[in-house]
């Protein structure tokens, strides 16, 4: 069983977390390349996998397949509202990160797990689905869309509670998921979340669904860690 080092960076600027991810991602790829160049009888370096959790100050990020049209604020308005913006190299369109959200960045060499990108994304989604079940909330997926969704009710449309966007290089992962726990949902009004223009779809948070002002985010983190490590079959250290 592979071991994965868990790092909780707390609240950290998006650029700082991105730089940290990039450093660890490059390190893992470098060791992987080194090991592949060794002969069978030569010593190899140990691969290090990581799972990073953090929160960010207000920031919008735009995936490589996204459109700037989905950002509804000008550069001046972003500055006035003290919101950062970054075009980045993950998949997907535009999303929001901010306080009260669990942002997870697994940095894994999938060659040591399985070579299936879709399986990897489905496992991340399943970890959130199982976490929500522990709070009595049924959730699932929508065909053709990534992330975790709640079904429509008589009074609410379909709601996205967790976004997923990843990047792979040489089967080493970075970026990951953003799970709305105590998130200020008003921040999504400044974008077209994930580029989805549909009155029958919106965003939500765990606190909103439980009709609570705030949920114990540390408790939620433990549940997500438990399910992710179980589904991926790794041991957190």
Residue 5 lies in a domain: no
Q: Is residue 74 part of a domain?
A: yes
pLDDT in tens, the chain (237 residues): 999 999 999 999 999 999 999 999 999 999 999 988 887 778 888 889 999 999 999 999 988 878 888 899 998 999 999 999 988 888 778 889 999 999 999 999 999 999 999 999 999 999 999 999 999 999 999 998 889 999 998 889 999 999 999 999 999 999 999 999 999 999 999 988 767 676 788 999 999 999 999 999 999 999 999 999 999 999 999
Please indicate, yes or no, if residue 220 is contained in any of the structural domains: yes
Tell me whether residue 211 is in a domain.
yes
Q: CA 154, CA 125: separation in Å to the nearest integer?
A: 25
Structural domain harbouring 224: 55-102+110-231
pLDDT of res. 108 = 97
- Note whether residue 41 is domain-resident: no
List the CATH number of the domain containing 60: 3.30.930.10
Q: What pLDDT does 207 receive?
A: 98
Q: Verify whether residue 54 is a known catalytic residue.
A: no
Ranges of beta strands (E only) in 42-197 are: 49-55, 59-62, 84-87, 94-97, 101-107, 140-142, 145-150, 158-169, 172-180
In a domain, 44, yes or no: no
**Distance between CA atoms of residues 109 and 134, nearest Å:** 29
Catalytic residue among 194, 203, 220, 232: 194
Domains of the chain: total:
1
Examine residue 36 and state whether it is found in any structural domain, yes or no: no
Which tokens belong to 213? Answer: 């002002």
């Amino acid at each position: 069983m592979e071991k994965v080092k868990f790092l909780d960076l707390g609240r950290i600027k998006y650029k700082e977390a991105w730089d940290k991810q990039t450093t660890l991602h490059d390190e893992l790829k470098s060791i992987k390349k080194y090991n592949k160049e060794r002969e069978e009888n030569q010593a190899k370096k140990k691969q290090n996998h990581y799972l990073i959790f953090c929160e960010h100050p207000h920031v919008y990020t735009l995936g490589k397949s996204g459109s700037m049209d989905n950002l509804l604020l000008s550069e001046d308005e972003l500055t006035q509202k003290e919101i950062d913006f970054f075009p980045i190299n993950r998949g997907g369109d535009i999303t929001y990160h901010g306080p009260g959200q669990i942002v997870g960045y697994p940095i894994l060499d999938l060659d040591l797990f399985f070579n299936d990108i879709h399986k990897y994304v489905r496992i991340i989604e399943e970890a959130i689905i199982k976490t929500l079940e522990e709070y009595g909330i049924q959730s699932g997926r929508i065909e053709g869309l990534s992330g975790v969704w709640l079904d429509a009710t008589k009074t609410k449309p379909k709601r996205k509670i967790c976004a997923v966007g990843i990047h792979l290089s040489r089967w080493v992962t970075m970026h990951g998921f953003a799970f709305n726990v105590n998130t200020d949902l008003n921040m999504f009004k400044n974008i077209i979340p994930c580029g989805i223009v549909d009155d029958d779809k919106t965003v939500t948070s765990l606190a909103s669904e439980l009709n609570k002002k705030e949920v114990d985010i540390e408790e939620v983190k433990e549940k997500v860690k438990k399910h992710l490590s179980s589904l991926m079959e790794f041991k957190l250290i």
